[in-house]
Amino acid sequence: MRRAGAVDIGGTSTKIGIVDEEGRVVSRATVPTSAAGNPLPLMDAIAASLRPMLDAAIATSDQPLGIGVSVAGFLDPERTAMVENANLLALCGFPLRRAFEERFPLDCRLEVDSNATVAAEYRYGAGRGSKRLLGVTIGTGLGGGVVIDGALLRYTGECAGDLGHIILDPKGPPCSCGSHGCLEAIVSSGALSRRAGGRSVRAIISAAKSGEREAVAALAETGRWLGLGLASLSPLFAPDTIVVGGGVAAAGDLLLEPTRASYREHAAPEPGGSVRIAGSTFEGWEGVVGAATLFLDPLP
């Protein structure tokens, strides 16, 4: 069975794995991103986790096709480096593809994380069969990718643009981009944490599933803002399906039901029928799966 190595570099953590041609993550590990000032320790940590996974795949006669790398931020036109991301300044301009190819005897391909996640949903997840798919991933930041008739939309930074920085509330919280009240600043993991007394996202979701009112209310408020943001994006991309992924989306319907209600309240009537809003089924590993599609089943 064909397999590929895959890495998903986020603002807080980096996920590493081996993915097979059916979109299953067959080996996985996570390391802190911690690229403050110097990306080389991060590269060494990735190599230390990924190398034994690749060796194990080779030992079973499953030679990996290459290493796909999903990274938060805009890419240069040649897709050799990430060039802009306020949450990963140390990696901006760093020759990321070359750094991987120096450490591994395999081809490496880079992709914007928002593209990788929406590709995973389109190929293997909740976006299968969609003609116009919008995918958003909520974690340290908020990214979004778009697939139209089977092709990724690329027009800014090799992706659909920085969808997390549409402004919903000019008097809202400060954003890492320098503005105030961006969608990212209002629904990211940090925003959810502040709504629930500074707890981690995992703790908030666990408490909400146990019925704690403060945690449920924090997720509902996050969902209401998310629904408004998605309603604001829909006239631009006219999606038939929206998939919500990332760590915050692990809350499931505790987040998605308020999101759907808010979307219906704020969105203009859809000429093509109602928009389906679904949660990712990858449990936060959609970026890894999408990175692997660069070799297993790439989108144009």
* Orientation of helix 213-237 relative to helix 253-266, angle to 10°: 50
The secondary structure of the chain in percent helix, strand, coil, rounded to multiples of 5, reads 40, 25, 35
What is the second-level CATH architecture of the domain 3-115+286-296? Answer: 2-Layer Sandwich (3.30)
Residue 268 is predicted with a pLDDT of 81
pLDDT value for 59: 84
Sheet-wide strand order for 3-9: 25-32, 13-20, 3-9, 67-71, 108-112
Q: Average pLDDT per run of 10 along the chain, which is 300 residues long?
A: 94 94 96 82 95 90 90 94 89 96 96 96 96 94 95 93 95 93 96 96 97 98 98 95 94 97 89 84 94 95
Domain spans of the chain, in order of start: 3-115+286-296, 128-279
- Contact call for residues 180 and 195 (beta carbons, < 8 A): no
Q: Which residues does 46 contact at the CB level (< 8 Å), separation at least 6?
A: 7, 14, 16, 31
Would you state the pLDDT for residue 62? 75
Taking CA atoms, 297 is separated from 123, 246, 280, in Å, by 8, 22, 19
pLDDT of residue 60: 80
Tokens of 253: 């319907």
Distance in angstroms (rounded) separating the CA atoms of residues 244 and 194: 21
User: In the prediction, which pLDDT does 87 show?
Assistant: 81
Report pLDDT for 213: 97
Nearest to 112 by CA among 68, 175, 176: 68
Architecture of domain 128-279: 2-Layer Sandwich (3.30)
pTM, two decimals, is 0.92
**Which secondary structure element, helix H or strand E, spans residue 4, and what is its range?**
strand 3-9
Per-residue model confidence (pLDDT) at position 35: 57
DSSP symbols for 127-174: TTT-SEEEEEEESSSEEEEEEETTEE--SBTTBB--GGG-BS-TTS-B
